Amino acid sequence: MNDIKAASSRYALTLFGLFWIYWLALAIAPLYRDDWMLENVLVILAVPVSVLGWRRYRFSTLAITAYWLFMLLHVLGSHYTYAEVPYNRWTEQLFGHSLNEMLGWQRNHFDRLVHGLFGLLFMPAFCEWLQQATGLTRRWQYTVAISLVMAISGLYEIMEWVAVLLFGGDLGQAYLGTQGDIWDAQKDMALAGLGSLLGATLLYGRDRLMEKK
């Protein structure tokens, strides 16, 4: 695989600062404060991992930008709760029709989008980390990165189940966000896996193009 061209510290700090401005803006009057607090456990865990990872490894502009975009989406989901992000209202204002109406959907699919994008957007960072930490070949980087996506996705679904057992009631159901679909967890994990496969395919194509130059 080609050597990683690290993003500049200025660029990384800019994204970090913009994230916290965005986070503070959406921390004001979230739709359900208790659910917002649960969802932001992920943010609390991600911050030290992000800082330590940046200090130790050389991540590219692509990797940190993709990671940043995912975190923005998660913060948006935590503000409204994933099941109530009003994308239908936004598309109706922009195009005169709701997205669900145009596509024939019956449920809010923002959570599905984020699970799929988790697989897609984390692939650059996972592959770059594996390259630097283990020296794996490109093929094995993709294989292990996809496995990591699936393992983390499965762990997250278990965490959601534990949260329901601990908190129960409306808070547990809001955090779980199944919207009545008994196969919600399986579909979320499948989308994360498909996203990671798409990410691996795109990275492979990029690397092949770079090798030909």
- Residue 6: strand pairing partners: 60
Residue 146 domain flag: yes
The whole domain housing 97 covers 9-212
8 A C-beta contact, residue 30 and residue 78? yes
16-33: buried (b, 16+ CB within 10 Å) or exposed (e) per residue?
A: eeebeeebeebbeebebe
Residue 4 domain flag: no
Residue 40 domain flag: yes
Report how far residue 3's alpha carbon sits from residue 36's, in angstroms, rounded to the nearest whole number: 40
Q: In a structure prediction context, what are the per-residue pLDDT tens digits for the chain, which is 213 residues long?
A: 456 789 999 999 999 999 999 999 999 999 999 889 988 998 999 988 898 889 899 899 999 999 999 999 999 999 999 999 999 999 999 999 899 998 988 899 999 999 999 999 999 999 999 999 998 889 999 999 999 999 999 998 898 888 778 876 667 666 666 677 788 889 999 999 999 999 999 999 998 888 876
Report how far residue 189's alpha carbon sits from residue 140's, in angstroms, rounded to the nearest whole number: 21
Q: Which residue has the tokens 């490894």?
A: 57
Residue 110 domain flag: yes
Residue 173 domain flag: yes
Number of domains into which the chain is organized = 1
Closest CA to 36 of 146, 174, 169: 174
pTM of the predicted model over 0.85: yes
